[in-house]
Structures are given as C-alpha cells and as structure tokens.
Amino acid sequence: MTIVLRIAWRNLWRHARRTWLTASAIAFSAMLLVFMITLQLGSYDMMIDTTLRVYTGQMQVQRLGYKDKRQMRTTVPDAARLAERLRVATGLDAVAVRAQGFALASSVERSYGVPVIGVQPEFERGVSTLPHLVKTGRYLSDSRAQELVLGSALARNLKLALGDELTLLGSGKDGSVAATVLPVVGFFESGNPELDRRLVLMPLAVFQEVFAMGDDAHTIVITGPSYESIPLTNAKVSALIADQPELTVLDWDELVPGVKQLIQTDMVQNWITYIALIVIVTLSIMNTFLMNVLERTREFGIMLALGASPARLAALVMLESVFLTLLGLVIGIAVGGGIAVYYHFAGFSFPGMEEIYAQFGLPGVIHPKLSFASFTLGPAVIFVFTVLAALNPALRIRKLQPVEAIHAV
C-alpha cells in the first residue's frame, strides 16, 4: 500500500467516532436503498407477471396491424399448426391459439355487446390463469366442446346461472352472420373488472366454425418460464416466423403499454424520494469532509512545503472520501442485501397489504428481486453523490497558499 493510501485510510480513524457516524449515515441510506429497490423491482416483476399471466401472456404472434385495428380478417393463417411448430422451436408447452370476435350476447332477460374469445383449453392453462380462476362451475373441457365460460360480473349482468344458454350473434370473417346458442358451464373471477365484466370464452374449433374462420386465428399467446427468458424466447419465435413477413411477434410491453408506463411513473416517483434522501446524507457528509480539511490546513501546508502538489493533496482528500463511502456502502449493502435475501424467500408483506393487492388479483406478498442491479444501483448513486460532495473540500485544497496553510492553527 502506498503512503498516500495509508495516510487516507489512517486519517479516517483520527476521529473514529465521526467516521463511524458518517459511515453509518451512508450505510443506513445504502441499506434502505438496496432493500427498497429490491422490493420495488420485485413488485414490478410481480405486477408484470400477474398481469401477463391472467390473460395477455409474455408475447403474442399476430398479423401485422392487428394490434392497432382488430379486424376479423386480419388473421394468422393455419394458426394451430404454427403454434405446434412454435412449441417445438421454443421447447415451451405454454403456446396457445386464440381468435377474437365481437357479438351481441343475449340471455332471456338482457343483451350486451361483448368480445368473444376462441381458446384452446388444453393449452390455455399454460398461458393464462383464467382457467384456474373459475369460481363457479368448470372451465372449457376441450377445443370442440359446445360450451361457454364467462366472467362472473357479465353473468350477473345477464342474470345467467350455470347451465343456462347464451345466444351469440355477430359477423364472421367472411361477413356472414355468426350465430350460436351454447350452454354456460363456468364463471371466472380474475379480479380484473374489465375481463370479469365483458369476456366470453368458447373452444377455438367452435369459434372457428361459428365465425367462419377456417383454420385461422388472431393471436398465438406464448409464455416462457420467467420474465428474464422473454428476450430469448422472442428471438426463437422471430426466427421461426421470419419466412412469414405478414406476421409479427409483440412483447408484453407493446401489448399492454399501460403496465410499463405505470412502472415508469412509479420509478420516477420513488427515485425522487431516494434522491432527496441521498442529498440529505450527502450534505452531512460534505460537512464532515469540510471540517476534516479545515482542521488539517497546517498539515496540508507542511505537505505542500515538502513538495506535494495541490492536485495530489486534492486526490488524497478524494481518496479519503472514497474509503469512507465504501466503508458505509459495504455495510449498507451487506445489511440491506441480507434483509432483501431474507424477504426474497420469506415474502414481504405488511398489515392490510394482502387485502389491497387481492383486489387487483395480485399475490399478498412481494418477493424482493435479487440481482446485481438491485444491489448496486442505489449504492452507486450514493457513491457518485458523496464523491461529488468531497469535490468542494478537495478544490479548496488546490487554492491553499503554503505559507498561510503552514501558519494556520
């Protein structure tokens, strides 16, 4: 270790109590940031995962233009076969075909305009939680079953009971009248009012027949094992459909941009709080550094007389600030990281959280996200701010006049 490094390190311990107090402030803010950011990222993952798992899936293959203008004729040709090829290429079972139409749904008493979705029940369980959210009755049995499942709120509005028949009247892909009457075998409750109030599900083959779709469908929904696997899966899917330029693969953030915007807004709000915390800590650290330099003016004067350049002394002060900051950050990351690891496995919750989250169909506990970024992002910002805080005292040293400094008390 060079003498300059030794001076920097030992200077920290000339006022051990002051050093520990400052390091504690840094450690506390680092700990708070590590835990808060892991929790924040964990909640985002949970929000994305939950949102996507209910219905949207992580990505979808569609015909170009379908996302913006949902026309019956904008279809994926021979969708079931393409889905099968995608299962093989990606190694995923969670690949399901859907077709969507619009119909007037009429019970004996009431009628509503609703979206009707044709699904593959045998694969839908992999891409959507709706099959698991059927609270009354059961889910669709197979692709050819002549039956319907709908949202519980819609059922209430239509005054339907299990086993009642629902009449659907719409128009097919070719413009023909699409009409059918099918019994209702189940009601789902997703927690998403939009889905519960509107959605009608029917087997894909039945849908294709009623709406004159042939083998076509509108979307192929794909869900990988994890959020992190999306880019890789996307690459595989894109490669497979490369020979069909009329098709496109859309990621979740394109399918449900609102979720991403919500996350971005939340991130900005949280970071404003974090920065306020960091600025307060930085000001106290700046005070410590200033006192440190002022107390040692004579010592700096002696060093200047001995031939040390002002730049080297400024570097010494910066080095001391780096040591002090790293000391605090290491402690903060260790403690904050430890808490994050504990809650990653145990799950984090607070009183009332489960009830609030349940309203949105979210799990009642958050698992903080453990990643290099979540552990280092906050501390890195603290590091930058504290080093900037040391710039002021360091620049003061550069202005020191040796004669005045040597005679300073």
Partner 1 sequence: MTEHTVILRNVSKVYHQNTLAVQALTDINLDIPKKELACLSGPSGSGKSTLLNLIGGLDKPTSGEITVDGQRVDLLGKAELAALRLHKIGFVFQAYNLIPVLTARENIEFVMQLQGISAAERRARAMDILKEVDLTGLEDRRPGELSGGQQQRVAVARAIVSEPSLVLADEPTANLDSKTAQALMELLVHMNQEHNVTFLFSTHDRLVMDFSRRLIKLHDGRIVDDQRRT
**How many helices (H) does the chain have, and how many strands (E)?**
15, 10
- In whole angstroms, what is the distance from residue 124 CA to residue 136 CA? 18
Alpha-helical segments (H) within 347-401: 353-359, 372-398
Binding of partner 1 by 308 (CB under 8 A): yes
Tell me which residue has tokens 């299962």. 87
250 is an interface residue for partner 1 by CB under 8 A? no
Per-residue contact flags (x/-) with partner 1 for residues 9 to 48, judged by CB under 8 A: -xx--x----------------------------------
Only one of the segments 78-86, 210-218, 363-371, 395-403 lies at the binding site for partner 1 (rule: CB under 8 A); that segment is 395-403
* Least separation in angstroms between CB 406 and partner 1: 7
For partner 1, the closer CB: 308 or 330: 308
The token pair at 180 is 């059918």
- Shortest Å, Cβ 401 to partner 1: 8
**Is 403 an interacting residue with respect to partner 1 (CB under 8 A)?**
yes
- How many whole angstroms separate alpha carbon 118 and alpha carbon 172? 13
Helices (H), 131-256: 152-158, 193-198, 204-210, 230-240, 252-255
* Residue number with CB closer to partner 1 (10 or 159): 10
List the one residue from 136, 298, 323, 377 that touches partner 1 (CB under 8 A): 298
CA distance 13 to 323: 11
Q: How far is the CB of 289 from partner 1 (least distance, A)?
A: 17
Nearest to 114 by CA among 151, 142, 140: 151
CA gap 319, 336 in Å, rounded: 25
Whether residue 37 contacts residue 378, with contact meaning beta carbons closer than 8 Å, is answered with: yes
Dihedral sign, Cα of residue 31, residue 33, residue 39, residue 45? negative
Q: Which one of 7-15, 75-83, 136-144, 272-280 is the stretch in contact with partner 1 (CB under 8 A)?
A: 7-15
Q: Is 395 in the site for partner 1 (CB under 8 A)?
A: no
Q: Is 6 in the site for partner 1 (CB under 8 A)?
A: yes
Q: CB of 302: closest distance to partner 1 in angstroms?
A: 5
Contact status: 3 vs partner 1 (CB under 8 A): yes
Site for partner 1 contains 61 (CB under 8 A): no
Which of 228, 309, 360, 373 contacts partner 1 by CB under 8 A? 309
Contact in structure between 246 and 64 (CB atoms under 8 Å): yes
| Residue among 15 and 67 whose Cβ is closer to partner 1 | 15
Residue 179 corresponds to which amino acid? A
Distance CA(198)–CA(114), nearest Å, equals 6
Does residue 391 touch partner 1 according to CB under 8 A? no
Rounded distance between C-alpha atoms, residue 332 and residue 26, angstroms: 7
Query: Which of 179, 299, 315, 377: binder of partner 1 (CB under 8 A)?
Result: 299
Residue among 304, 318, 362, 397 that touches partner 1 (CB under 8 A): 304
- Taking CB under 8 A as the rule, does residue 265 contact partner 1? no
* Amino acid found at 254: E
Contact range with partner 1 by CB under 8 A, out of 152-160, 253-261, 305-313, 323-331: 305-313
Sign of CA dihedral 138, 140, 145, 150: positive
7 binds partner 1 (CB under 8 A): yes
List interacting residues with partner 1 (CB under 8 A). Answer: 2-4, 6-7, 10-11, 14, 298-299, 302-310, 312, 401-403, 406
